[in-house]
Amino acid sequence: MGREIGILGGSFDPVHRGHLALAHAAREAFGLDEVRLLPCAQQALKARAATRAEDRCAMLRLALAGERGLTLDCREVFRGGRTYTVETLRALRRELPGARLWFVMGMDSVADFPRWREPGVLVGLCEWIVFDRPGVAEPAAVFDPRLLAHRLRGPLCDVSSTAVRRQVAEGGAMRYSIGDLEARYLRARHLYEGTSP
Ligand code: ATP
């Protein structure tokens, strides 16, 4: 039988507990063999310049150590430039013939989807798993019903990278948002200090 591979793409700037909750929930609910976390170089739709890829990948490595079934795939950051999911999925399908691919994302990404590159092609390249996100309603018009074929509802995790960056800039507690090792890493390198979140 082919392998069932989940893909969680994002900026991971920085990785937080919401990402891990999303990946584990998808893996358990849909019996996936593995969920790959795939940081992008520079997300096409985000205005803010991302923190250096080396730092985002290093924090992901710390966060994923000991997390069963979650792996890290840094291909997009090494390729550099803008990140287009459609290209990454084409490459993964070539590399993993016989595997079924499941793209995992939060509800906020469903609203963005029509602005992704080649959305009409992309939607047919994999299965889609969508997780509810606190404060984000289902869009009134969804690009394609296949996007909402596999829904994951709760438990919700009210964390975002924006909130973590704000916590760092304001000197707030991060204990419930990110892991201790990642917190230590970003403090040691003064990441996100004095920047607008
Ligand atoms: P930012 O606050 O900088 O926009 P983010 O917290 O949304 O970042 P990303 O790395 O952009 O993090 O997210 C990658 C994917 O994970 C997206 O599909 C996003 O919807 C999803 N995601 C992130 N946090 C959560 C969460 N708390 N609950 C559900 N989905 C989430």
- Ranking 23-27, 75-79, 165-169 by mean pLDDT, the lowest is 75-79
Average pLDDT over all residues of the chain: 91
Does 2 score more than 90 pLDDT?
A: no
Write down the domain spans for the chain. Answer: 4-159
| Per-position DSSP letters for 129-196, written without gaps between them | EEE-BTTBPPPSS-S-GGGGSEEE--------HHHHHHHHHHT---TTTS-HHHHHHHHHTTTTTTS-
Does 16 score more than 70 pLDDT?
A: yes
Distance from residue 19's CA to the centre of ligand 1 (Å): 7
Does 1 score more than 70 pLDDT?
A: no
C-alpha Rg value of the chain to the nearest Å = 16
Does 92 score more than 70 pLDDT?
A: yes
Q: Which atom of ligand 1 is nearest to the CA of 163?
A: 2
Mean pLDDT across 119-131: 97
Does 141 score more than 70 pLDDT?
A: yes
CATH architecture assignment, domain 4-159: 3-Layer(aba) Sandwich (3.40)
The pLDDT assigned to 45 comes to: 67
Distance from residue 41's CA to the centre of ligand 1 (Å): 15
Nearest CA to ligand 1 atom 24: 18
Does 186 score more than 90 pLDDT?
A: yes
Q: CA-CA distances (angstroms) from residue 162 to 64, 109, 169?
A: 20, 15, 11
Mean pLDDT across 91-115: 95
- Ranking 116-120, 168-172, 181-185 by mean pLDDT, the lowest is 168-172
Residue of 16, 73, 108, 168 best suited for mutating to test ligand 1, as the one with most atoms within 8 Å of CB: 108
The pLDDT assigned to 106 comes to: 92
Residue 129 or 81, more confident: 129
Question: pTM for this one?
Answer: 0.93
